[in-house]
Amino acid sequence: MIKQLKAIFPSLIQSTYDMHMDTDSYCWFTTSENKIVGIAKNELSKTENMLLETFLTPYQANQPPVTKREKQWIDILFNNRNQNQIESQQTYRFVYFTLSDDNVDSIAFREAIHGLFFTKVPIIWENSHQGLIIEEDLNSEEDVITYDEIIEVLMSDFYMNVHLFISPYFSDINNVIQQYEWTKNSYTSVHQYNKKPVIDYVEAVPYLLLDPLTEESISIIINSVLKDTVDDEELLKTIRIFLESNSNATLAAKNLYMHRNSLQYRVDKFIERSGIDVKQFKGALSVYLTLTLKQKLK
């Protein structure tokens, strides 16, 4: 695409997130591959600019300078290099955000986010109203973030609507680009059906199944929801029958020919290992659909 645009607009230049961009002389855009391009304003008519905006995303070039850690993540996600900058066993997750205001003060936004998290999390802007917050190794209990509270603070401070999609924790850095794309695409898919300010990957499962899924997406859903129970067939069978018994422990134990206390132990074990409460409707629905998806692949 960039070569074709260059042939039409000879002034086109490419930039990166950490470079200074001349906003006086150039209009800036991001491509579908998240490449940043600038075209001289004196080479663009109003009609041409509007046409470009149909397949390119206007980019707010006055973002704050990126930090060293943000630069590392930008290289990994958008330039496909330097994956060794992230430890192989490190866990991380993406919080994809969209803002209703295209003109938000990005420096003030960064300060607000850093004030709400326990560490200075990397913030990667895709354009003037969308981006990514990256949490790294935040698995301890004291580091649990209440996203509903974060939404309230941001909406009251900036007088705008904010939507967040929270991915699962990942650790396979070799697939980080696919994980990022899945997070972004999942937000887009889910937002068609559910406009809640905060949605995590567990709550998203029923909505994701409404659209065709790639094998890669199916794999991410199954492994993210079931986690290290994914190969524990005996435990998963127990959970499936428990859910098919309308979460009635007595009935499920009878169907499994086991003591009720033994069944309850297995259910609690699954909740502990997966982090999903299957005794609650949302967790139960997402887990059951995931188990059905897994069974279909056999």
165, 167, 159: which is closest to 130 by C-alpha?
A: 165
* CATH architecture, domain defined by 68-211: 2-Layer Sandwich (3.30)
Q: Which residues does 181 contact at the CB level (< 8 Å), separation at least 6?
A: none
For residue 45, how many other CB atoms are within 10 A of its CB?
8
Two structure tokens written together for 48: 């041409």
Q: Where in the chain is the domain with CATH 1.10.10.2840?
A: 225-297
Quick: pLDDT tens for 227-246.
Answer: 999 999 999 999 999 999 99
Tell me if 49 sits within 8 A of 40, measured CB to CB. no
Distances (CA, A) of 71 to 76, 140, 232, 245, 283: 9, 26, 39, 50, 36
Quick: pLDDT tens for 197-225.
Answer: 999 999 999 999 999 999 999 999 999 99
Which residue bears the tokens 């809640």? 196
Residue 141: what pLDDT?
46
pTM passes above 0.75: yes
Tell me if 245 sits within 8 A of 255, measured CB to CB. yes
Q: Tens-digit pLDDT profile for the chain (298 aa)?
A: 888 899 999 999 988 766 667 778 888 888 877 788 999 999 999 899 889 988 888 876 666 778 888 888 988 888 777 666 676 668 899 999 999 987 888 889 999 999 888 888 999 988 788 899 999 875 544 455 688 888 998 998 899 999 999 999 998 888 999 999 999 999 999 999 999 999 999 999 999 999 999 999 999 999 999 999 999 999 999 999 999 999 999 999 999 999 999 999 999 999 999 999 999 999 999 999 999 999 988 7
Tell me if 45 sits within 8 A of 74, measured CB to CB. no
H, E, C per residue of 146-176: CHHHHHHHHHHHHCCCEEEEECCCECCHHHH
| Domain range 225-297, CATH class | mainly alpha
Phi/psi at 210 (nearest 5 deg)? -80, -20
Q: Where in the chain is the domain with CATH 3.30.70?
A: 68-211
Two structure tokens written together for 61: 């070039």
